Amino acid sequence: MMRALPFALLLLLCACPVEPRERPDVICADACKRRITGCSVHACERGCAFVLDRLVEHEQDTVLGCMARAKDCEDPSWADCAAKVGVHADGGPDVPPHIPQEEPSD
């Protein structure tokens, strides 16, 4: 039993999870670091996490292309680029018409 304890501990230490590199935000951050010279590592990681919904929609190249043309790497730029891709490119649906409220009758 005492011989098995160090072996079991060694197995537990070797089985520690490593951050998966195939997550969309991690793939995007890696591409951002390579493609966009004006963005820091932190800005790439934060921005790619910020636009995760677009990454899942396979819009990474479009968003990063827009960010390469952006003036900075701040959240508003990421949001603007995320809003200009795919089915969201037209700005979304119109504002619903105003529905007048009925006045309560006594």
Give the pTM. 0.65
Mean pLDDT per 10-residue interval, the chain, length 106 residues: 62 58 91 93 96 93 94 94 81 77 73
What is the rounded distance in angstroms from the CA atom of residue 106 to the CA atom of residue 101? 15
**pLDDT (0 to 100) of residue 82:** 92
- Supply the DSSP string of 9-22, one letter for each residue: HHHHHHT-----TT
DSSP at 92: -
Instruction: Yes or no: say if 45 and 78 are a contact pair by the CB < 8 Å rule.
Output: no
Nearest partner of 77 among 53, 34, 46, judged by Cα: 46
